[in-house]
Structure formats: structure tokens, C-alpha cells
Amino acid sequence: MKEMSGKMPAAVRVRFAPSPTGYLHVGGARTALYNWLFARHFGGTFILRIEDTDLERSTEESAGAILESMAWLGMEWDEGPYRQAERMHLYQEHAQRLVTEGKGYYCTCAPEELEERREAAKAAGQSVKYDGRCRAACHPEGALRFRLPEVGRTVVEDLIHGPVQFDHSDLDDFIIARSDGYPTYNFAAVVDDAAMGITHVIRGDDHLSNTPRQILLYQAFGYPLPHFAHIPMILGRDRARLSKRHGATSIAAYREMGYLPEAMVNYLVRLGWSHGDQEIFSQEEMIRYFSLEKVGKTPAIFDPQKLEWVNAHYLKTLPSSYLVGQMRPFWVGAGVSEGELAGASEAWLGSVVDALRERARTLTELAQASRYFFADPSRYDEKAERALAALSHSEMEELTAQLAALSDFSASVLEAFYRQFAEARGLKLAQIAQVTRAALTGSTASPPLFQVMEILGREKVLRRLQLALSRRPQ
């Protein structure tokens, strides 16, 4: 295994470090998952760090949403959440150290000046980077820049991509602290990772270009380097970077759409990682099998239909008692009152889930499909109207009366009764069944009729048959 080459650290420590500037994105969730699985596989520590030094864009609402999504996915953290905004003293100490050692210098170039120079360099076909004009000056304030070595190269020994070389001539003296004292990403990440003893930095490969700068900072401080692993991006089916135009991209959105956390985790782990041809994994299997060696080097394609398939699998296989708990907010969203839910037993709600789980792909679909179990039909669709006309008024009255007299309302007894009723009158069983289904559900499509009747119970069945009778001409 790549991550096992050489001697593994005595204790693996990894981190997920989101910026609280929005919801937890699908790509961020996968990064968090890979870090979490890596830590669990090696019995290590998974740390959560909120990188909130971007004061203009960071919000408490976003931080809360990220934590909520991670908790929903079941990725509990062992340490944190740490907040960078609460660690300013640490960054200031490290910044002063670089200045004292001549490895950092203050730059007073205004943003407008820098932009003009970039545009001029671009027009001249030159490298667009800081020209170092404040390197020799001794300004006591301004933005703090890191003094990069002007020659040489840095090689990133990436656990996924292999060695990646960066020439220092292609880099520039990047800003590590703004004029207000707040650190930039590259600087704060290195200080935090070193202070927290991070052994493996596992993140998206959009950060690969940051890594040589971070390695140089580690070396400037004399800190040991962590191992780096950069995960290929997630693309839409058009092979463009995943964005809102491809549909929902946040974990919160998929939760609201009725996807299960088990399905979301299972789908995310397969976006770039594999274990043979296996598609469905328990959490224990993911932890046991996960390794960076099996993470691919090419971008993963996000396929909403595949996610639906995985979700449908979990709807079919998870315990109905668990699904009932997941279903409650979706039933409310489908118009079922809190009172109706409170008045229903867990066992009865479980039977509703069991009746519909084979046909549903999401909790939202299951909730919409189950509305007739809670409320009498307010209308009949066109096919149901036609089905109701297949029996005469007197035949429907007789059917209702005989159903009321049954001592046992179980599915098997109901089926036997319907067969006898149809045979005695020279009718087809399907004909009577469709009439009943239409009266009970307002539609001609449902789970097996006698199962539906048993779940509804005698009182609701008789009331709905009487309601259907009252709505048709005699």
C-alpha cells in the first residue's frame, strides 16, 4: 500500500478543514469521508478544523450547517471543531518568527498596483507573479510575504499522483498574512497542521498547486512534513467541474430530497475509490477495505441515477423501524399532520414503509406514495374513475356489507373472500380488486391490494368504500 510505504507514524492524525462560506459540498463531504475512513482504518484521530479567517465570507450559519451535515453522515470527529479565528496568537507568533529570521518581509504594494503589474506582465507575455520589489525594503508594516528560494525546485511526493515537481522560478513570494494581520490559507494551514501533528494531508487535487508553497513553509520552520494525498476532482456528466447547473451539490440538499445518509456515504466512497467490483458497503467494510492505494488518479463522474439506485437499495434493506424515524419529517412535508403521526403506532408506520419500500427511490417518493394510508382520497384519478364504474351500485353495496361481516381482516382472509365473491357472481377477481383499490387509494396503482386493506384496517376500508358509493350515481 502506498500509505504504508516506509514506516507508518505511531499514530495517524488527519483533518478535515472546511471554510464556513456555504453548505457542505459533495466534494468536501467525500474529502471528509476519505479522511475519516483513513483514520478509522488505522485506528487514528480525525480532527475537524473550521478555517474561518475569511471574515467577509465566513458565517456561523455555514459553520453550523457543515457540522450538521457531517453529523448526519455519521462522520463523528475525535477532536475539534477548532476555529482558526480563535488561534490568531499562534499565527502571529509564527509570522514574527519568519520576519525575525529574514524569511518573511512586509510589502506595501497596493492591490491596484499589483493588478496593473499583473496585467502588464500578461500583455508582455511574461510570467504573472509578484516581481519582488519590496524584497530589499525594510517596511515595518503592510502585507507579509514569504521569501521564497529563487532557484531550485520542490517535489511533492503525492500518495495518489506520485512525484510532482514544481520549479521555484514559477512561484512567487506569496502573501502569508494580510495587512490586518489575518493569515492566508497556505500559512494558517501549515501552522495548524504542524501544531496539531497532522501526519497525512488528504484533500482535493485543486490544492496540489498550493503544496510546494506549504512544503517550503514547513522547511522554513523546521517542521517535519506530513504525507500528502490529493484526490481527483468530481465532475458532472459533461466532464465539467461539478456545479449547481448539474443539479444539487450540497449534502443538505440531498438530505432534503429524501436521500438516506447510508446511501450518500456509500455513493461518495465509490466516487474515486473501489474494492473489486463491490458496490454496496457496510460502514465496517468501508473502514476495513479503505486505502489510498485504491483511489484513482482520474476525476470521478457524479451520476444522479447511480445515487438513486444506491438509495433505493438502502430503502429496500434497512430495518423498517429505522426508516420510520427517517420518514417522519417527509410525511409532514407530504401533508400528514403531526397528530396523525403521533396517533399511529411504530408497528403500523413500519407496515406502511414495508408496503411501499420496494417501489420508492427516495424518502420523498415514499412519503408522497403513502398519503392514502393517512387520509381518505380527496379525488380519484381518471383511471380510478373508470375502474369504479366496473361494478354496479348494488354489487358495491353487497361487497361492502360482506366485508363488514368478516371476523378476520388479514390479507390472506381478504384474498380468499374476494375470490369467492367474484366466483359467485361470475366476475373477474381483477375487476373487483381494481374497484376496491380505486376506492381506497384514489388510483389504480398500489402495493398488493390485500396488504393495503390489512394495513388500512376495517374501519378505513369500509368508510372509503361508502365514500366511493356516495360519489357515484345509483
Q: How many whole angstroms separate alpha carbon 173 and alpha carbon 91? A: 18
Cell of 379: 379525488
Rounded to whole angstroms, the maximal C-alpha distance in the chain is: 105
Q: How many whole angstroms separate alpha carbon 85 and alpha carbon 92? A: 12
Q: How many whole angstroms separate alpha carbon 318 and alpha carbon 313? A: 9
Q: How many whole angstroms separate alpha carbon 174 and alpha carbon 300? A: 31
Q: How many whole angstroms separate alpha carbon 187 and alpha carbon 221? A: 11
Q: How many whole angstroms separate alpha carbon 406 and alpha carbon 417? A: 9
- Which of 2, 122, 129, 244 is catalytic? The answer is 244
- 244 classed as catalytic: yes
Write down the residue that cell numbers 390485500 correspond to.
Answer: 450
Give the active site residues. Answer: 244
